[in-house]
């Protein structure tokens, strides 16, 4: 979503068409692979092999693009590459010469803040509402509500522990209490890939929590849509709940984000919008 939003904003700024190269997702099974067209009302035009060859020449093969996309290999890329030089916002994005091949994560609202209205329209969910989700949405709208996202699963693996911080019980406890102070009658809706952990650790202390369990697998995007329906948000260090909170357009929303996103020293200064609270 960040990659699309950055590319879409840049295409509007430069008045150039946007093409999406999705071949890197071939065989990618994590998080259900490439789902933009299935989940959102976006008009994704795939970049053809001919277009990639015309732009990148000998560097157009998927294997070479994967290799050249590594930061240590940016020196070997041609002038038409726009490789993200570091994780925080890169102001050089506005000076990229067109046409260009964008490579990076582009995880900052600053890359698309000038196209917010368009991005929000593109990221309108296309899935029909079913009875379970409609009933939950009705309960969320019946009183002040906050969504909580607890991501454990793949973050608990040894490889990811060296990259991503773990949001523990103290983070969620403090975030809940902060919002309860500001919104005394708030109802809490918890979304997680480990709902048993939520029930064992959070429901015992906060009796206003309802843990959502019915959207799993290919229905995971339904949880993002439901989280976006809450009035306020407590996110994990996960772009899944980052986007759920961002897609709530309310200027009065309270969003709490973890102060520590990574464990490997990555500079995340531009990842969290300035109006959100880091705890």
pLDDT digits (tens, 9 = 90+) for 194-247: 999 999 999 888 988 999 999 887 889 999 999 999 999 999 999 999 999 999
Torsion of CA 129, 133, 137, 138, to 10 degrees: 90
Same domain, 143 and 274: yes
Q: Residue 262: what pLDDT? A: 93
Residue 216 has what pLDDT?
Answer: 81
Bridge partners of residue 257, in order along the sequence: 278
Element (H, E) at 101: strand 101-103
Q: What pLDDT shows up at residue 275?
A: 97
The answer on 139 and 115 residing in a single domain is no
Residues in the chain: 279
Query: Which phi and psi (to 5°) does residue 232 adopt?
Result: -140, 170
Beta bridge partners of 239: none
Can you tell me the distance from the alpha carbon of 161 to that of 59, in angstroms, rounded to the nearest whole number? 33
Q: Which residue matches tokens 């939950």? A: 136
* Enclosing domain of residue 17: 2-122
End residue of a domain, out of 65, 94, 122:
122
Strand pairing partners for 103?
83
Q: Report how far residue 128's alpha carbon sits from residue 67's, in angstroms, rounded to the nearest whole number.
A: 40
What CATH number did the domain enclosing 236 receive?
A: 3.40.50.11350
Token couple for 225 = 């849509």
Bond before 37 cis per omega within 30 degrees: no
Instruction: Give the span between the Cα atoms of 170 and 162, in whole angstroms.
Output: 20
Q: How many CB atoms lie within 10 A of CB 114?
A: 14
Q: Do 271 and 165 fall within a single domain?
A: yes
Which pLDDT belongs to residue 40? 96
Looking at the structure, do residues 139 and 156 belong to the same domain, yes or no? yes
Of 61, 94, 122, the residue that ends a domain is 122
- Helix-then-strand count for the chain, H and E: 11, 8
Same domain, 135 and 273: yes
- Residue that the structure tokens 């950055």 belong to: 6
* Ordered alpha helix ranges (H), the chain: 2-14, 36-39, 49-56, 62-68, 116-122, 131-141, 158-161, 169-182, 195-201, 220-228, 239-246
Residue 92 and residue 169 in one domain: no
Task: Walk along the chain (279 residues) and give the pLDDT tens digit of each residue.
Answer: 999 999 999 999 999 999 999 887 765 566 667 889 999 999 889 999 999 999 999 999 888 998 888 888 888 888 899 999 999 999 999 999 999 999 999 999 999 999 999 999 999 999 999 999 999 999 999 999 999 999 986 666 656 777 888 899 999 999 999 999 999 999 999 999 999 999 999 988 898 899 999 988 788 999 999 999 999 999 999 999 999 999 999 999 999 999 999 999 999 999 999 999 999
Residue 90 and residue 144 share a domain: no
**Quick one: pLDDT at residue 72?**
86
Number of folded domains that form the chain: 2
Domain boundary among 101, 122, 143: 122
Query: Is residue 143 located within the same domain as residue 106?
Result: no
pLDDT for 217: 78
Same domain, residue pair 63 and 165: no
If asked whether residues 150 and 222 sit together in one domain, one would say: yes
The pLDDT, as a whole number, for residue 155 is: 61
Instruction: Identify the sign of the CA torsion 238, 34, 131, 137.
Output: positive
Structure tokens at 124: 């309108």
| Domain co-membership, 84 together with 169 | no
- Classified as helix, coil or strand, 230 is coil
Secondary structure letter of residue 124 according to DSSP = -
Contacts of 50-56 with CB under 8 Å at 24 or more apart are 51/19, 52/21, 52/101, 55/80, 55/99, 55/101, 56/80, 56/81, 56/101
Instruction: Say whether both 195 and 267 belong to one domain.
Output: yes
| CA–CA gap between residue 222 and residue 240 (Å, rounded) | 11
């Amino acid at each position: 979503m960040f990659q699309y939003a950055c590319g879409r904003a840049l295409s509007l700024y430069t008045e150039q068409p946007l093409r999406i190269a999705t071949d890197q997702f071939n065989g990618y099974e994590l998080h259900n692979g490439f789902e933009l067209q299935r989940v959102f009302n976006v008009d994704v035009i795939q970049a053809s092999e001919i277009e990639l060859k015309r732009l990148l020449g000998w560097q157009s093969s998927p294997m070479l693009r994967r290799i050249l996309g590594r930061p240590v290999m940016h020196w070997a890329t041609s002038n038409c590459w726009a490789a993200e030089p570091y994780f925080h916002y890169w102001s050089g994005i506005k000076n990229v010469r067109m046409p260009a091949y964008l490579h990076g994560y582009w995880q900052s609202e600053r890359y698309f803040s000038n196209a917010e209205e368009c991005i929000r329209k593109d990221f309108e969910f296309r899935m029909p509402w079913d009875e379970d989700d409609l009933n939950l949405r009705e309960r969320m709208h019946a009183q002040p509500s906050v969504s909580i996202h607890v991501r454990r699963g793949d973050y608990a693996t040894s490889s990811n522990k060296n990259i991503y911080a773990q949001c523990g019980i103290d983070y969620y406890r403090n975030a809940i209490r902060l919002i309860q102070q500001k919104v005394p009658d708030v109802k809490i809706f918890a979304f997680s890939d480990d709902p048993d952990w939520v029930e064992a650790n959070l429901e015992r202390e906060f009796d206003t929590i309802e843990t959502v369990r019915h959207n799993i697998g290919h229905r995971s995007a339904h949880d993002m849509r439901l989280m976006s329906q809450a009035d306020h948000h407590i996110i994990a260090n996960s772009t899944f709940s980052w986007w759920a909170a961002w897609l709530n357009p309310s200027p009065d929303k309270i969003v709490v984000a973890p102060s520590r996103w990574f464990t490997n020293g990555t500079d995340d200064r531009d990842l969290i919008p300035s109006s959100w609270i880091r705890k």
